[in-house]
Amino acid sequence: MKKIVVLFSGAGSNLAYLLKHLHGKELELAAAMTNNPEAGGIAHARAYSVPVEVIDHREYSDREVFDVELVRRIEAYAPDLTVLAGFMRILSPVFTKRIKAINLHPSLLPRHRGLHAIEKSWEDEHPEGGVTVHWVDEELDAGEPILQYELEKEGFESFEEYDEAILRIEKEALAEGIRSVLGISG
């Protein structure tokens, strides 16, 4: 069975989806790692008895030193793939040159790289928004896309409705991206 490690920083809703729908069925979630000791996703991983590694980035002198420790911990699990699911850290070449990783981003890249992508997508001139699953490389949100799910903005009466819809399709897109990369038929 293929193994993944998931990195997250917040509530862990994407992590929870992967645990519920893929873990123990289509793949093994070998570990969940976070840079935030208060992250809600910690409880999701523990509920499934998945090892949790908390690596507080504030305890490291710089980005590269943090990434050395992150890489060391990921490599200890020997995953087939590392999945960034709401991991709010810009990764250095220390990470990107050693770890095969994909990221979920809430816009149709190359539009709206970085933070606040859903808001920027809602406000732009395009009739559609969406999400992208892409390879992680040295440049923020610039790796080769694996897949994109589009969402027509017409019909949403508020940003809040649009935001909820994006968050819903994110989970499905991430699962499909993982399946695609690992050659798992879902």
Q: Can you spell out the DSSP letters for 39-55?
A: -THHHHHHHTT--EEE-
Q: Whose structure tokens read 């990783």?
A: 101
Instruction: Decide if pLDDT at 186 tops 90.
Output: no
**Which of these is catalytic: 105, 112, 126, 134?**
105
Structure tokens at 166: 């994006």
Instruction: Specify the pTM.
Output: 0.96
pLDDT over 90 percentage in the chain: 99
- Cα 19 to Cα 30, 48, 97, 120, 186: the distances in Å are 11, 7, 27, 30, 15
- Tell me how far CA of residue 68 lies from CA of 56, 62, 133, 154, in angstroms: 13, 10, 24, 45
CA distance 128 to 142: 20
CB 143, CB 97: distance < 8 Å: no
- The residue with tokens 């879902």 is 186
Is 105 known to be catalytic? Answer: yes
**pLDDT band of 119, cuts 50, 70, 90:** very high
Query: What amino acid occupies position 46?
Result: R
Whether residue 95 contacts residue 71, with contact meaning beta carbons closer than 8 Å, is answered with yes
What are the structural domains of the chain? 3-182 (3.40.50.170)
Q: Is the pLDDT of residue 168 over 80?
A: yes
Mean pLDDT of 167-185: 96
In the predicted structure, residue 79 carries a pLDDT above the cut 70: yes
